[in-house]
Every structure is written in structure tokens, then in C-alpha cells.
Amino acid sequence: MYDDFIRFVRELYQTDKPIPLHEPRFQGREKDYVLDAIDSTFVSSVGPYVDRFEADCARYTGAKYAVATVNGTAALHLALLLAGVKRNEEVITQALTFIATCNAIHYCGAEPIFVDVDKSTLGLSAQALADYLDSCAEYRNGETWNNKTGKRIAACLPMHTFGHPADMPGIMQVCEKYNIPVVEDAAEALGSTLNKQHCGTFGLLGILSFNGNKIMTTGGGGMILTNDPTLAKQAKHLSTTAKEPHSWCVAHDQVGFNYRLPNLNAALGVAQLECVPLFLSKKRELAARYIEWSRQHRFQCVIEPETARSNYWLNAVVLENPAERDAFLTATNEQGVMTRPLWQPMHLLPMYRHCQKDSLAITEWAADRVVNVPSSVIG
């Protein structure tokens, strides 16, 4: 079976060379725009391509405002701060995620609370969220407090796993009941929509990532999305070291962050974003090939939820048990076809083992069985 899969992937990519999990594609005007930025000498955090990239991202996602940052983690850190997360508070999120989700919470001096995911999306479960809050939440003075710890629950942070939209209508309904702001980790979900609304635009704030392994890249880079003009203004101010605007004086009015995306990276981003519709089309074709192949074998693919249109950033298959998962990983990687297990769940990492959690039954089930397979754009 594993040999059949390896042959199938090699036929997809038409190569006998090692096949990576996901590599970038540069087939638009990337060189033209980057060379233009170099010629302009505006290569750092000020320049026309930064403004253009922000405007293009806002228009593409349907957000009213977009603020570019050096990476997705920086975007997430700032978004949580702007949502009001403070030291010694708590943020509800999922344990099945990349570590940046939890690290950004920790940067704020807050602690994550882990609740389970839905098996269908691998994203935060609205039901698990409701069950957890019903068991411990105490609502007073317009805020929600954890009666187990005496700390304020400052935000909810769902993540759209592999670009498949989480149940945002359900999550938003629960969080509105408890007056908890939602920050969306849409790092993997550029181009993904739920009910025709782009991921990252449901909550108070959302973020995107443009790391080298994402559907499009700026080398490194991230974006904060919001419909709130005050938050957008604060995001831009904080990300540029909180420098007060002036023609020549250099003064700052608070502790800020050197998080602004350089113009050089933004130039690459403008060209890459122009290619995203093509990338999405080709990635959906690739996902369809995997799904078709899986029906003829004993594989199960992770597919987009109903009413969603996923970007299929990383395709994923579900194996029957942990032993089969490990055998599959060994066979494919030994033969030059890169596959990868899920991230180790956050509650199992030494720095987050002490955190509160529910049973995380689906999280641990998925971590033992789900494997990512090569997902680079073909052609």
C-alpha cells in the first residue's frame, strides 16, 4: 500500500527527486517588484509596497483594514494585545495547533486553556468551548471569569487547521454569550472561506501568515485583519515601535514593537497575492486527486466542511492507528516523499503541561493518526 502511494505522488509531481511537503512557487512578477523595491532604496519598514500589500490583502479578504507584520507570530501577539489580553489572564484555544498560537498567548503574560477540536475540521469545537465555559465561567461586570482560577478569560483563539475553516458561527455564538473577544489564527487559511466569508474576518481581529511554507509567501511575514478603525490604527502604531509621526523628530509615546513588514518583503507579497487565485485552483485540483485516489484504497482524506471552500494548504490523510501512522511516515520519508505527523499537541509540551484542559479526546485521536502529505502547487 505504501509503495502504491509513493508511486502515485511521484506521478503527481513527475519526478524521481525528493518531494518536499510544501515549497513556494514563484511564477508571477516577483522579480520585477522586488527589483523595483531595491531600485527605490525603500527596502525596510517604510515604502509603497507595504501600503499596497495591505490594501490588496484587505480587498482580497474583505476586511476593512489590514496591517502587515514581520511574521504571523508577531501579528498574533499584537492582535491578542489589541483584544485586551493582559498578564495573568487566560485565553481559550486548541491544543492541536502550531506552537506559535500558544507562544503568542505567553508573550502577553497570559495562559492558554485547551479545549478539544471537531473531528471534521480539526479546528476548535464550539460544543467543547460551550461545555468548558458552562462548567467554570462566572459572568460579572460584563466580563467572564474562571471560577476555578479566579482569572479573567480574556479571549478565545481558534485556529483554522490546514486551511479548513473552523466552526466560526458556533464559536462566535458561544463567545458572544460570554462577551469574550475572538481572535482568529488564520495563519494557514488565506483563500479559505466559510459561508462565503473569508477566514480571519469573523472575530474582532484575525491574522494571516506568509511564511515560506504557506500558500503564498513574503519570505517571512504576517497580516492583522480587522474591521475596527481604532484597532487598525493602534496595530500600525504599535508595530512601528510606537513612533510618533513627525517629519524629523524621533519620539515614541509607549512601548512598541519592531514588527513592521519590510518593503522588500511586501514587494514579493504583492506579486504572490496576484498568483493566489491560480494557486488555489491548482491546490484544489491536487486535493481532488488525493481524494479520488483515497477512495480506491483504504485511506481517508481530511476534506473541507460543508458550506466551506478550503484552500487545502496541506493535504492530510487519516491512518487507522498510531502503528500504521508510524509505518507510513517511515516508508514515505525513507523513499524521498516527505510526510509529516501533526504537531505534538500543546498540552504535552513541557512548558504547557500545567495548563487547564478538557479531555482533548479528539485532539489526541487525531495526533495519533493524521499525516500531512506533499501539497506543493503542481506545475
The owner of cell 503527481 is 12
Average pLDDT, the chain: 97
Domains defined along the chain, listed by start:
30-273 (3.40.640.10)
Residue 334's pLDDT is 98
Contact criterion met (CB below 8 Å) for 67 and 223:
yes
The owner of cell 490588496 is 56
d(Cα 343, Cα 210) in Å, to the nearest integer? 19
Residue 45's pLDDT is 85
Q: What is the pLDDT of residues 284-325, one digit of tens each?
A: 999 999 999 999 987 899 999 999 999 999 999 999 999 999
Residue 246's pLDDT is 86
What is the secondary structure of 168-191 as a DSSP string? HHHHHHHHHHHT--BEEE-TT-TT
**Among 108, 83, 43, which residue's Cα sits nearest to residue 203?**
83
**Among 93, 60, 99, which residue's Cα sits nearest to residue 200?**
60
Contact criterion met (CB below 8 Å) for 111 and 105:
yes
Give the single-character DSSP code of 303: -
Residue 125's pLDDT is 98
- How many Cβ atoms sit within 10 Å of the Cβ of residue 106? 15
User: Which ranges of the chain have pLDDT less than 70?
Assistant: none
